[in-house]
Amino acid sequence: MINRSIPNQFSRRSVIAGLGAAIAAPVMGSAETPVAYPTKNVTIVVPFAAGGMSDIVARSLSQFLQQTLGHPFIVMTRPGAGGGLGIQAVANAPNDGYTLLLTLSSISTLPVIAKVEGKPPLFERRQFVPIARLAADPALIYVRREAPWQTIDDLVADARKNPGKFSYTSSGRFGPTHIPMEMFLQATGTDMLHIPTTGGGPSMALLLGGHADIFFTIPGLGMEQVEAGSLRVLAVSTRELSPPAACADVDRARDRCRVHGVGGAFCPQRCTRIDHKADGSNRS
């Protein structure tokens, strides 16, 4: 089974100092006296559909923070535009520290892509302050159990012989599972049909349902299906991060595409940062 709790390396001290409290700006009282934070519900926006990596991490994190800080942290999914709509919503949120963002690499890639395409970006990276990195995983190339390929080399050879015949799914155009797969296709000289969705959950459903042939994503979305025999893993994307034990013997795709999935928490740039002690009390 996949452990969906907060990773062990995030102790009570590190989460409070880096997230629950060094978060940013609670309201400042007179003479810059810090006010206790939080004093009401906090919203964590996930810019992808439910069931994906960001959503899984956000829900585990919200439960942990509620137990630790004593107020509800409510996860709200706001998918669309490859994650851009949800990220934009947080960029425009009130600067009171009660709207946070948990997202993936889209926060960096989408503004760049918009400028390349000559479009106004929905947001700018500089509008956010990073709070904490909450996930860093290798990416895995998943296929269904009945797929004809036994190795990554089998897949590449078949795709070269049949350009455009096979399809892959992603969590959205220019999102965290789209760009790595395009890098892989470019590196291997192959061409596949791209089927974008609004998140990792819907993409995994497409793969399992036979509507896409490949999904290049992180372990948390597919390892239960691997253990159940519904999916297989053809390759792991990086040597810097350890893959799940069930993937220890699969090929490494690092020579073709060296990537890993990173998730983090952010708040709007306008928030005023404060520090918190490990016991949760404030200090200016």
Residues 195-232 have pLDDT tens digits of 999 999 999 999 999 999 999 988 778 888 988 999 99
Q: Is 1 within a domain?
A: no
Instruction: Copy the structure tokens of residue 10.
Output: 């995030």
Rounded to two decimals, the pTM is 0.76
Residue 23 has pLDDT above 70, yes or no: no
Beta bridge partners of 268: 128
- We report the CATH number of the domain holding residue 127 as 3.40.190.150
Q: Are residues 156 and 118 in the same domain?
A: no
**Residues 61, 138: Cα–Cα separation, whole Å:** 20
**Domain limits for position 16:** 12-136+263-283
Residue 16 pLDDT more than 60? no
129 and 166 belong to one structural domain: no
Q: Give me the pLDDT at residue 273, please.
A: 45
- Do residue 16 and residue 120 come from a single domain? yes
Are residues 170 and 131 located together in one domain of the fold? no
Check whether 100 has a pLDDT greater than 70: yes
How many Cβ atoms are within 10 Å of 15's Cβ, its own excluded? 21
Residues 55 and 159 in one domain: no
Token pair 């609004």 is at which residue? 198
Q: Are residues 94 and 172 in the same domain?
A: no
Give a yes or no: residue 187 inside a domain. yes
**pLDDT given for residue 78 in this prediction:** 95
The Cα–Cα gap between 232 and 222 comes to 9
Q: What is the CATH number of the domain that holds 198?
A: 3.40.190.10
Count of structural domains, the chain:
2
Co-location of 70 and 175 in the same domain? no
User: Are 51 and 39 spatial neighbours (Cβ–Cβ below 8 Å)?
Assistant: no
Residues 6+ apart with CB under 8 A from 191: 159, 163, 164, 185
Q: Is residue 277 part of a domain?
A: yes
> Using CA atoms, how far apart are residues 15 and 1, in angstroms rounded to an integer?
24
**Cis peptide leading into residue 38 (ω within 30°):** yes
